[in-house]
Structures are given as C-alpha cells and as structure tokens.
Chain A
C-alpha cells in the first residue's frame, strides 16, 4: 500500500520559519486534515509537500525519496489544488481537465486516445458532462471546485492535496464537495490532505486532524483528541463549547459575557 512519509519537514523563507518539524505518514484511502488559525502555516505545508515551496526534512513515498523526483515524476505521485486555482478565461472544461494529463506526456507529445478517455471518464465520474464545453471562467463556485478536483483526478496520482476546498462554498456545495472527496478516496484509493477552516466540518469527514500553530504541530489525532476546548482556546484564542454528535465533536463558538470574544 502506497504510503507518504514526512519526517521533520520545515520551511523557512528569508530567515522566517513558517513550518517546523512536521512529521506524519499517510496511506492511500486515508484523509488527513490540517487545521489551525490564520497564518499557522497550513497552506505553506501543503505547498512544501506539493514541491512548490523550498523545504527541508525527509519526504518519501514508500521507498522513493520525493526530493530526487523531477517535476514530472512528482506530479505522477502528488496532485495539488490551491486555494484559488487559476481558471484561464476561454478554456473549455474538457481542456482544463485534460491539463491533468501533463505529467503523463512527453514535453513535445500530444495527448493519446488513452489520455482523452481518462479525461472523459473523470468528467463523467464527477457529473460534469453538461459543462464539458463551458468556459471554465464562467463556472460557479461549486462547479469550479468540482472541475479542479477533476483535473487532480485526471492526474491519476495516489496523493491529492486540496488547499481549503470548501472555504468559498455555501453549506450545500460544501457538503457535495466533501462527500465527493470522501467517496473518491475510498473508491479510488487516494490519500487526501486538505486544509480547512470550519472545525466542525473538519471533524466530520477526515480520519485524522493535525492542528498547526506558528508552524508547529500542536495536536494530532482523531477529531475528539484535537478539537478540545483547551486546544481551541490556546491556539485560536476562541471560547468554544464542544458538543457531541454521535462521537464527533461539534464546535460551537460562545459569546463572552463582556461582549468581546478576546480573552
């Protein structure tokens, strides 16, 4: 079983440490969610794993050292969807999803029938058929998210990184996208790493949570281990109440008596 191993990962830019000493391992089919207050280094951590941000520490997949890989080899293992993907004006949904096949093509080759079949399959899988010829720049928030996930799936890599996949979406689309990710990781044996803002939602689908604060892992484990009143108070500076929903924590913000939520 394919497993991603990260040991002592650290990112420093211009002498400032953004992420330090992050270690975890993740196998296909599992979903790790990174939470933490604004500026904690969540996106930076994802970028480091995606290889678009210089980092130190060990990164490997099974016995392969990720740092020895070139862009193309890495892309065959890891797909990445940023918080705000660039959807080029005038590009059809089909052509956008087809970009996911880049890693499987020689620089000067054209897409083969197989690449086109895979793209078509992914489009059907994500119920994007009716959007196939639509300009990606004209899609709504939920559709955009599905299209970018489709591109990541077309890449056919066993690890997918999604930076805040639900932040811009209303509750209906949030649910749709999360259900989709959850289904795909089980069906297609994909290891998923997401970052997320909504704490309750982060306890709902992922198997494991990792809380970052100032670039360091302050808590890691199951939702009920990580989402505690103390953790959230210490690192988010928020007063919350944790309620129980069938063993999954619900994080409810509380109004403080003085009328200010700062402690």
Chain B
C-alpha cells in the first residue's frame, strides 16, 4: 500500500484557478459605474489580441482596462506575495507569529518612503517606490548581518530579535523625520496605511518581475520548508543546509515583499491571516500551504480591496484597515470552528 505524498491535487488547481479568475472578473465589474462581466471578458480579450474580439465597449473599456483591471491584478499579485512570504517566514522560523515584515521590511520601506515624501523633490511621488524598496532591502540586510553573528545554533531566534531591534530603530528615525515635517504627516500616514490606488499598469509592470521571481522561488522551496518543522538541529542531521536555505528563502521573500510594499505601502495582516486560515483548512504541510497561499492571498486582497473602494464610496477606506477589520474576525471565526492543527 503506497501512501501518496502531500501535494496539491489537479482538482484543487482547477478549482483555485477558476475561483481566482472569477474573483478578478467580479471585482472589475463592481464600482461606481457597474460594468457587466461580458464586457470585462471582451475588454481583456481585445487587449490581449484575441482574434475576432469586437471592439465596441466605449468608456467601459477605459474603466475596465485603464482603471480597474490594473488595480485588481495588483491587489491579487501583492496579496499572493504577502501570503506566501508570510507562510515561508512562519516555516523557516518555526514561529506562528512571523509575517513578511518580521525582519524589518516594513520599517525600512516606511523610512525610505518618508524620506522620499519629505524630500520635497518635484518627482517625490515617483521616488517613493524606489526609496521604499531600497529601504526595505537595506533593513533586512542590516537585520541579517546583525542576527547572523548571534550565538551559533540559535540563529533563527537571534535573527528575529535583530529584526525587532532594527524595526524599532528605523521606525524611531522615521517618526523623527516625520515630526520635523509636519506638513507631510498626512501623506506619510496614508502611505503607511497602504493603498492600491495606482497609476494604471505602470506600477504592476515595475514590481511584477520581482514578485514573479520571488513567488517562484518560494514555490520551489515548498518541500524543504517542511524539513524546517523539526527544528534547525534535526533538519541539519537530516541533511538540510539550514543556514543556506534560510538565507535563500529570506532573500527571495524579501525581494518580493519589498517590491510589493514599494507600490502599495504597508498592508498588514495578509501574511499572517491567509496562511493560518489555510493551515486550519488543509493542514501544515508547506507543499500544499505555499501554492494555496499564493492563490488565497490573491483572492483575499482582491476582496479586501473591493470592500475598501465600495463600502464607503466615494470615500476609499485604507486597504490596511480593511484587511485588519475583516481579517481578524474572519480568522477568529475559523479558529473557533476548527480547533485543530493551529500550531506551526
């Protein structure tokens, strides 16, 4: 009797793909001006040069292709990234509270963005993504350099502690800079709360390569993440080069997260809630958790964004607030209904 190895079944792949596409199309339909789903499909088909697609959509095409679709897809991609990076961090650090911001990505990005905003440069808006990306990468590099020199054999703990210290330091600097530029506080604040309000396809084009590479890497390392679950020492004796693999996945996750954060600001909660909700549903194996986080994170953020732009229309709720407001109760609900296998 052969026992199958845990992996995502073909049925699950089909169901997930269909669910993801339906969510995207539906999210594009809804808004100040509702558009029918058929128009959405027609617009997509036409722009992707599908032959014989009629081009008679008028303004709906602009709404779909210029305004909503880039935003919805960005939401999906960023959600995927944050959820899969969160799952990866939880796996490599064996810490259920780990999220993509564990090693200082958020504080570094925040500091970078703040500098860009207060710089007063005419191009300050264009500078924000670059500055926050560099800030995020720099912060994690600093954390890694400091944390690595910790007591040997306790590297994951010393990395996490170094992350806390670096995050606090950078946040303090950011607050200081922010206080000295009172006039910009509002702008900084709105960046910190996260936004998916984008400028068409440009933002997506800018971050997509990083996120694609990062997600691909995390997906490839999904089996190895299961080996981490027996702890660093045992994983080493099983033949896993623990430090090297941890460095690789941290670099991959940081690259993608930094890219995501650079265009959307800090969207909290996705990296914790999506993987944990999935754990409760499908168990703790990263072979299943990583692929499902990629899809689930995307769907989650598209839905959260839909609420953000429609619930109090025409006012837009910051996306980070929505993810926390709907994420926390939703998570508590499934935690209550399935009290098994909650730990990492």
Interface SS of chain A: mixed
Query: In whole angstroms, what is the CA distance A99 to B279 when docked?
Result: 20
Point out the residues of chain A lying under 8 angstroms from B227, CB to CB. Answer: 99, 102
Stretch at the interface among A108-116, A184-192, A208-216, A249-257: A108-116
Q: Is the CB of B5 within 8 A of A52?
A: no
Contacts of A76 in B (CB 8 A): 239
Q: Is the CB of A52 within 8 A of B233?
A: yes
Q: Is the CB of A86 within 8 A of B231?
A: yes
* Given A86-B230, A91-B229, A99-B227, CB of A110 within 8 Å of CB of B5: yes
Interface centre among B221, B223, B237 (most CB of A within 10 A): B237
Flag whether B245 is at the interface (Cβ < 8 A): yes
Q: In whole Å, how far is A138's beta carbon from the nearest beta carbon of chain B?
A: 10
**Least Cβ distance of B279 to chain A in Å?**
8
Question: If the complex has contacts A75-B237, A75-B238, are A86 and B224 also in contact, measured as CB distance less than 8 A?
Answer: no
- Produce 1/0 per residue, A9-48, CB < 8 A to B: 0000000000000000000000000000000000000010
Contact B152 A54 (CB under 8 A): yes
A107–B223 Cα gap in the complex (Å)?
A: 9
Residues on A with beta carbons closer than 8 Å to the beta carbon of B279: 90
Q: Is B341 at the interface (CB under 8 A from chain A)?
A: yes
A110 touches B152 (CB 8 A): no
Given contacts A85-B230, A99-B230, A107-B224, contact A79 B237 (CB under 8 A): yes
User: Given A88-B230, A111-B5, A103–B285 Cβ distance below 8 Å?
Assistant: no
Q: A202: CB under 8 A from chain B?
A: no
- Name the residue on B nearest A111 (C-beta): B5
User: Is A230 part of the binding interface, using a Cβ–Cβ cutoff of 8 Å?
Assistant: no
Whether, in the assembled complex, B329 has its beta carbon less than 8 Å from a beta carbon of chain A, the answer is no
A67 interface contact, C-beta 8 A: no
Contact A91 B284, beta carbon cutoff 8 Å: yes
A91, A100, A108: the one contacting B285 at CB < 8 Å is: A91
A248 proximal to B (CB < 8 A): no
Please tell me if A177 contacts chain B, counting CB pairs below 8 Å: no
Closest residue of chain B to A70 (Cβ to Cβ) is: B241
Is B2 close to A, CB under 8 A? yes
Kindly supply a per-residue 1/0 record for chain B positions 247-281, scoring 1 wherever the CB is within 8 Å of any chain A CB and 0 otherwise. 00000000000000000000000000000000100
Could you tell me the distance in whole angstroms from the C-beta of B242 to the nearest C-beta in chain A? 8
Report whether A135 and B238 are in contact in the complex, using a CB–CB cutoff of 8 Å: no
- By size class, the interface of chain B is 35 or more
| B341 engages A90 (CB within 8 Å) | yes
Total A residues in contact with B, Cβ cutoff 8 Å:
45
Contact with A along B193-225 (1 / 0, CB 8 A): 000000000000000000000000000110110
Q: A52-B153, A120-B1 are in contact. Are A85 and B234 (CB under 8 A)?
A: yes
Q: A104 contacts which chain B residues (CB < 8 A)? A: 239
B11 within 8 A of A: no
B6 at the interface (CB under 8 A from A): yes
Assess whether B3 is in contact with A102, with CB atoms less than 8 Å apart: no
Q: B6 contacts A95, CB within 8 Å?
A: yes
- Which of chain B's residues have a CB closer than 8 A to the CB of A102? 227, 235, 238-240
Residue from B2, B221, B240, B285 in contact with A116 in the complex, judged by beta carbons closer than 8 Å: B2
Q: How far is the CA of A129 from the CA of B241 in the complex (A)?
A: 31
Query: Is B283's CB within 8 Å of the partner chain A?
Result: yes
Asked if residues A132 and B237 are in contact (CB atoms below 8 Å), the reply is: no
Q: Are B3 and A108 in contact (CB under 8 A)?
A: no
Closest A residue, CB atoms, query B1: A120
B residues in contact with A78, CB < 8 Å: 237
**How far, in whole Å, are A99 and B5 apart by their CA atoms in the complex?**
11
In the assembled complex, the Cα of A199 lies from the Cα of B3 at a distance in Å of 41
Q: Are A82 and B239 in contact (CB under 8 A)?
A: no
Per CB-CB distance, the 9 closest pairs between chain A and chain B, nearest first, are: A103-B239, A75-B239, A90-B341, A90-B284, A88-B229, A80-B237, A72-B239, A102-B238, A89-B343
B residues with CB within 8 A of A: 1-3, 5-7, 152-153, 220-221, 223-224, 226-227, 229-231, 233-242, 245, 279, 283-285, 340-344
Please list the residues of chain A having a beta carbon within 8 angstroms of any beta carbon in chain B: 47, 50-54, 70-72, 74-76, 78-80, 82, 85-92, 94-95, 98-100, 102-104, 107-108, 110-111, 116-117, 119-120, 129, 132-133, 135, 155
Apart from A82-B234, A95-B5, A95-B226, what 5 extra A-B contacts exist at CB < 8 Å?
A52-B153, A78-B237, A90-B285, A94-B3, A110-B7
Q: Show 24 residue pairs from A and B whose CB-CB distance is below 8 angstroms, ordered by the A residue.
A: A72-B240, A75-B237, A75-B238, A82-B233, A85-B230, A85-B234, A86-B231, A88-B230, A89-B342, A89-B344, A90-B284, A90-B285, A90-B340, A95-B6, A95-B285, A99-B230, A100-B238, A102-B235, A102-B240, A107-B221, A108-B220, A108-B223, A110-B7, A116-B5
